Amino acid sequence: MAMYLRRAVSSQSLIGLIRGIWSREVIQARSFSQGLVFSRDFICSHFTGTKEAPTLPTNFGFLKESHRGFAKGKRSRDDSGGGTVEVAPDIGPAVKSGAASQMDAAIDALSRELTKLRTGRASPGMLDHIIVETGGVKMPLNRLAVVSVMDPKTLSVNPYDPNTLKELEKAIVSSPLGLNPRAEGERLIAAIPPLTKEHMQALCKVVTKSSEDVKQSIRRARQKALDTIKKAGSSVPKDDANRLEKEIDELTKKFVKSAEGMCKAKEKEITQG
């Protein structure tokens, strides 16, 4: 019966119930849906075994602890009814952050791919993807030399170690860029030949494919975010879920537009030199 009373009556109402026993003959426990009624003699005999007044403890902390023991999960106060309600987890920031990170990685990958494509204009980054083998170790060219632009049609390759000059020259010649650098002291000079019409068309096709690939990656990130929202189900309010979906769509449009802009700029660079 004691356990039943603790669960049915909150700590404050139980304390008030005991204190009010001596001023009223009959006490009605309004907390009970059945409208149970307790008499003074019943409560006294239950708590003390006699009809004597029970000694009330000065510290009612034990009642609070018992009340807390029934809490499950994260709760907040319900102002409308005075009870407690479950608080839905806010998954919005994590979902948006994850989607943005994946989309940003796709844009970075596109940027690296476009940099590899040779145009009729000299660019220091166009040699970054070339792998050089020296001393039995393969390394990116940009870790072995500094590449700079001498003029719109000429690159200068300055190795950190002059002894690697031959390896650098061999790697550049072997690349698909069609460059034939010449040694000039302790550096290499690479002239950028003009692109033929056929070469321009082939490069534009590569750019178009790269654009489609990155947009697919961005859309996959979008779908993954929407799936996460859907799996959350009823734990996320419908209005919040709809708002979050719209924010993911806006994010997707932003990154797709960025990818399209990068590819259009590269095509222009290829066709106009």
Rounded Cα gap, residues 130 and 174, in angstroms: 9
Are 218 and 103 in contact by the 8 Å Cβ rule? The answer is yes
What are the Cα distances from residue 249, in Å, to 108, 136, 176, 220? 20, 49, 39, 12
Which residue, chain included where needed, has tokens 């994260």? 74
Rounded Cα gap, residues 150 and 155, in angstroms: 6
| Angle, CA of 17, 21 and 24, to the nearest 5° | 115
Partners of residue 37 on adjacent β-strands: 28
Averaged pLDDT score across all residues of the chain? 76
| Chain segment 154-185, per-residue pLDDT in tens | 999 999 999 999 999 999 999 878 889 999 99
Which residues, 6 or more positions from 240, have their beta carbon under 8 angstroms from its beta carbon?
88, 92
pLDDT at 2 over 80: no
Closest CA to 20 of 1, 4, 51, 44: 44
| Chain segment 223-267, per-residue pLDDT in tens | 999 999 888 887 888 888 899 999 999 999 999 999 999 999 999
Structure tokens at 272: 């106009």
pLDDT at 264: 95
Q: What is the pTM of this model?
A: 0.56
Burial of 160 (0-12, 13-18, 19+ CB in 10 A): exposed
pLDDT at 88: 53
